[in-house]
Structure 1
Amino acid sequence: MSRSLADLGWIDFFADHARPFIAAVSEDAQAELEMARVVGVERAAFQVWTAQGSEEALLAGTLRQSASGPPPQPVIGDWLVVHRLPDGQGLRIVHLLPRRTTLARAVNSGLSEQIIAANVDVVFIVTTPGEDFDLPRLGRYVAAVEMSGARPVVLLNKTDLVDDSTWFVEQIGTLAPDLPVHGVAATEDHGLDAVRSYFQRGVTGALIGSSGVGKSTLTNALLGQEVASTGTVRHSDQQGRHTTTGRTLYPLPAGGLLIDNPGLRDIAVWEATRRPAAFEVVEEAAVDCRFRKCTHTTEPGCAVRRAVQQGTITADTLAAYHHAHGLSAPRPKRRE
């Protein structure tokens, strides 16, 4: 089914960034370029939507490796410039457009970033009034969404399982000023009109939260059809079983788009502008490097790599430092 780019979330922000890239190629090449949005990520390919419909695209060689290391890889929600190859040979991704919002979390003890989704307008943080309810964790979810540039909204799902959900809603409301909180029961379609009101043409929403809080059931209810697998409910805590294993971008019947994410037991806020304390340890050791502009990769007399060998700096810390600074770690030497 074909859709206009505006239906898929295309706005002037992306058009303005695509224009210089397109202008830099020949007119003949321009005729073969199209815009596409990532709706699914597989090991060897990307599922994308173009104005012509759902298609598969592969990364061009220039986006697989560069002199400074692996370039940023597309994630669900990204906008791309793709090259349509002749004779029905498919699409090649030739350019990744800048992200308007980036939902990410810190991993590797806060030293690295894992991008969850891109170009999301509103993120629905799903919890329940059961054993999953954890106010500090919800606060971390809210902080991560605010850091992404998207709007956080908390959905208290499965309110049909308690006599009164007022206390839970009030507690969630203390996490941030003017934080929208909605009590819903996805299996009963209760309260979902409030959720639907956030969507309009081109608006992208995402569901995040722990496994079993009902994100797949919410997805199916909002879409009006069974597209996401739902699990059985455990009698011990009335929580559903984890079912979503990948991220998918769905079009909503009345307009807008929805991303259903796998369950996240917790989320640590990633701040790209915050300098991890472990990086300071690397830079303190770097004072003793033989070369002033040592990259701590292959140079002789590198005090940082020596510290890794001695165990005072972990290999993971140095790898994260290389990643944050766009450097490639040295490849291990082959044994003869």
Structure 2
Amino acid sequence: MIDMWDDEKIHAFQKTLLKWYDEAGRSTLPWRADHSPYRVWVSEIMLQQTQVSTVIPYFNRFMQAFPTVDDLAKAPEADLLKAWEGLGYYSRVRNMQKAAQQIVNDFDGAWPNTMQTLEALKGVGPYTAAAIASIAFNEPVAAIDGNAFRVFARLFEIDADIAQPATRKLFFELGNQIIDQERPGDFNQAIMDLGSSYMSAKNSDPAHSPVREFDASYQNGTTDLYPVKSKAKKAKPVHYAAMVIKNDDTYLWEKRPEIGLLANFWTVPLFNIDDFVNDRDVNWSETEIQNALEKQLFEQYGVKVDLTKRNLAPITHIYTHQKWFVSVFEGTVVQDQVPKQGEWKTMTDLNRDPQPKIQEKIWKKLS
């Protein structure tokens, strides 16, 4: 049961929040200098799962490379992946291009201007649609992301589990009741800024928050209890071997399949050890694993290699449902051979190809 504010308190909250936002909000962020739907959209997609400080240089480079939605729609995928390299969750940029093509082809280049119509775009969910609609088109709809969940849960001491899909509707309806009708975009951005500062997940400072007089959890000393979120399932461990194979001054380099993790990116050969080594930790010695990998390389790539396992701790990399442990193996081909799969490339050449974060970690581990 939410103890909802009356109209007078809602108005007072709006006034206090927006006054603080005008005085202390992050107005220097590059996407806030221009509230065009394209810039708002690109920034919101980039900010999913990524910190603001990391996004800023990516955003500036992306806008320089693809200044309009038409440029994005027509761009070669390799250029997009290269521009996104290091941000992770690459389905985001692929969906962005599909959405850009929808705008160009289905909407004659004109942006949908309501939350409902924006959700028809590929990869645009309720939060992103509400953010674009409110910031770019001034529609009074609440943008409910992690920051908004945290801020509203603490303001009203809401104990609904935010991991449950039905809870979003509860917070959306609440946000729509208290959003400022005249400045919905600024209101949503103020909530974002509040949730990443005074009301952050860690090291919050509710005692100095500009809205502390409205914060029920602060008044009752229950800040750390909100928001309520059930634990997600642990990521499944998967063991990989990265094959760094040299042929003079070139490396064996391949483009990943069009579907699955790391789709269309370039990497050294990556073998899922769990696929062909049973009970690896119990029955297989390091030598047996190495021999199996050499055999796999010959059968799949047609290259004969003497491998050496680098005496390094496995590289860890976490995806949504998997946690990769990647051991690095190095080797030099016994004789110059044309691979059945992949190709030989110099370091200069391969640096031009889009590489996923795990490949960056492999190079860094070897440096």
TM range (shorter): under 0.3
Q: What TM-score, normalized to structure 1?
A: 0.21
Which structure has more strand as a fraction of its residues?
1
Which structure has more helix as a fraction of its residues?
2
Q: What TM-score, normalized to structure 2?
A: 0.19
